[in-house]
Amino acid sequence: MKLLVPVFLLAIAGAAQAQAVYKCNSSSYSEQPCSDRVVRTYEAPVERPARKARDVVAHRLPGESAEELATRRRRVNLPGTDRDECARLDKKIPFEQQRIRNGVHPEEIDEAQQSLAESRKRFQQLRC
């Protein structure tokens, strides 16, 4: 009895691997008969992963300006962390410029200028 269980399991595994694959046309395969040509499964191509939504920048989103679309296209291939940092810098740079314009104390203006210079340098390094 002990010998029959492994033999039975091997027979099932062999039958599962021997499933026929049919070549329908130059780029598609099926497990259902669509032609007379049966191929080995290692000849069937591996399916390509679907494109990620971030890779597709086809048109302007509702409410998006031409400049925002250009920015989105420019940043689409950046890693996610860099895109996040670019978005943060998009808000920080105008804030620092406002601090420089409205600053009352010279120390505050100097600090804002230094922060603005660092932000712009990082913006260029990231190619935002």
pLDDT digits (tens, 9 = 90+) for 53-71: 555 666 888 899 999 999 9
Q: What is the spatial distance between Cα 68 and Cα 60, in angstroms, rounded to a whole number?
A: 9
Q: What is the model's pLDDT at position 52?
A: 59
Average pLDDT value for the chain: 78
Tell me: do 35 and 72 sit in the same domain. no
Q: What is the model's pLDDT at position 43?
A: 56
Q: Which ranges of the chain have pLDDT less than 50?
A: 1, 4, 7-9, 13-16
Q: What is the model's pLDDT at position 15?
A: 46
92 domain residue, yes or no: yes
| C-beta atoms surrounding 123 within 10 Å | 16
Tell me: do 72 and 119 sit in the same domain. yes
Q: What is the model's pLDDT at position 125?
A: 94
Tell me: do 41 and 73 sit in the same domain. no
Neighbour-count burial for 51-87, b at 16+ CB within 10 Å, e otherwise: eeeeeebeeeeeeeeeeeeebeeebeebeeeebebbe
Q: What is the model's pLDDT at position 30?
A: 73
Q: What is the model's pLDDT at position 28?
A: 75
Q: What is the model's pLDDT at position 44?
A: 55
Q: What's the domain range around 116?
A: 66-126
